[in-house]
Structure 1
Amino acid sequence: MTEIILIALSLSMDAFAVSVSSAACTKNLRKKHMLRAALAFGVFQGAMPLAGWFAGYAFIERISRIDHWIAFGLLFLIGGKMLIEAAEDFVKHPNPACPTDAEKKKRDLSSKRVLIALAIATSIDALAVGMSFAVIRQPILLPSAVIGFVTALVCGAGFIFGKRIGLLFGRFAQIAGGITLIAIGARILAAHLRLGI
């Protein structure tokens, strides 16, 4: 269960970063918009692993000899992508600041269209994690529910942090999430290699 919670926390970091920046940079973001956004991020983040699991399950027999390598590769790629995005953001914006007016429109969580687009964009990584659960033959219903629930809670916290602390915290959370996913992938690979599976 600890590993599932760590994966859920790691996957929620993109949505957390969006929540932090929206709260920090949007003056008139209402509580109903924050609640709706937290629920949307949670629902999409919980649904994507299910979709990924069913997609991955279709290929289990064909990839059974290398399933641990695939799980490691998927988690490594997702974690690495999170680290690269955080590094690029740091290079482009060494001092965290609110986005320009044009960028703010792309993150306006009061718009349903923007909210759905961001919920999908921040949950794509969860699709790949669902595939990795399928290839290592792990059940998905509990992890999917935990991922969705944790994401909703983390987004709620992101709105609170964004209002009080600002943008810097979201960047560090994304780095921590990337490192955690890589470490979990490495643990899966090491366990299979040690057991000779």
Structure 2
Amino acid sequence: MTAQIIIQIILYGISLSMDAFAVSVSYSLTYTGINRKRIFLIALTFGLFQAIMPLISYWLIEGIGQLVGIEKSADVGHISSLVITWLAFALLLFIGSKMILEGSKRLKQTDEEKVEKVFSYKELFVFGVATAIDALAVGVSLHSGTLSNNVTVWLHVSIIMVITFALSLVGVILGSSIVKLFKGKQDITTIIGGIILLLLAIWVVVAHYIGI
């Protein structure tokens, strides 16, 4: 294994982890009650999902290949990558639009009517899945050998997990700092978080078609 391959994997991990970074900023802009322990939990959740999703798709394509043959599994991989892209787009678009609508509604409410969105394990799980859906395409790429034939899938996902954890940690801290900047005005920060997810949804599709 050469240093060039290691650098390639790290750079790929960084590019993939930028989605998780954006979502972690969005999450911390939207929910209150994020203490130090939960900051690490959020980052760990995003890191784990970014590692698990490629393994799922890799083994799925591997299983299909054994059933129908390598050539047909390659076709399945191409179709799967397209479906994954648009699924990620739809999920991020839905969550982002919902956040913008909720934030806009809060702007019209009085202080007595406003209800804060408190940290929720259920919502964290949804965000974790949303940010990692497009990571399924990584497993497809690994199986097709487009990333690096000399490196195991385990090394890829391990590096991706570590980088995602680190960037998500930075993202949550950054989001929390922005909340303080807006003096806890959750309606405004929720709208900002929703806009981030809408931009990310568009980027997922653009990145797929331009080959990033």
Q: TM-score, normalised by structure 1?
A: 0.65
> 2:56 corresponds to which letter in structure 1?
A
Higher mean C-alpha displacement, 174-183 vs 114-123 = 114-123
Partner of 1:73: 79
Q: What root-mean-square deviation, in Å, do the aligned CA atoms of Structure 1 and Structure 2 show? A: 3.8
1:164/1:178 Cα in 2 relative to 1: closer, same or farther (>3 Å)?
Answer: farther
- CA 1:60–1:143 in structure 2 vs 1: closer, same or farther (change >3 Å)? same
What are the superposed Cα offsets for residues 168-196 of structure 1, whole Å, 9 maximum, x if unpaired?
334323432332234338xxxxxxxxxxx
Distance of 1:71 and 1:155 partners within structure 2: 28
Q: What's the CA shift for 1:153? A: 2.5
Q: Is 1:169 equivalent to 2:182 in the alignment?
A: no
1:110-125 counterparts in 2 under 5 A? Answer: 111=121, 114-116=123-125, 118-120=127-129, 122-125=131-134
> 1:1-197 alignment to 2 at 5 Å?
2=8, 5-6=11-12, 9-10=15-16, 13=19, 15-61=20-66, 62-88=68-94, 97=103, 104=117, 108-109=119-120, 111=121, 114-116=123-125, 118-120=127-129, 122-127=131-136, 129-136=138-145, 138=149, 139-165=152-178, 166-167=192-193, 168-184=195-211
Q: Which 5+ residue runs of structure 1 have no aligned equivalent?
A: 186-197
Distance 2:53 2:172 in 1: 23
* Displacement after TM superposition at 1:46 (Å): 1.0
Offset of residue 34 of structure 1: 0.9
Q: State the partner residue of 2:187.
A: none
Other-structure match for 1:189: none
1:176 to 1:37, Cα distance in 2 relative to 1, 3 A: same
Please identify the structure whose Cα radius of gyration is greater: 2
| Aligned residue pairs, count | 180
Q: Is the 8 A contact 1:17 1:171 kept in 2?
A: no
Stretch of structure 1 that moved more, 88-97 or 22-31: 88-97
Q: 1:115 to 1:88 in 2, by over 3 A?
A: closer
Residue 39 of structure 1 and its aligned partner are, at CA, apart by 1.2
Gaps of 5+ in 2: 107-113, 179-191
Q: Which deviations, in whole Å up to 9, do the C-alpha atoms of 1:118-158 show, x marking residues without a partner?
A: 43554344345324422448541222123212321232232
- Residues 8 and 55 of structure 1: CA distance in aligned 2, closer, same or farther (over 3 Å): farther
Assess if the C-alpha contact under 8 Å between 2:97 and 2:198 holds in 1: no
Structure 2 residue identity aligned to 1:36: L
Equivalent residue number for residue 188 of structure 1: none
**Which deviates more from structure 2 when the two are superposed, residues 18-27 or residues 82-91?**
82-91
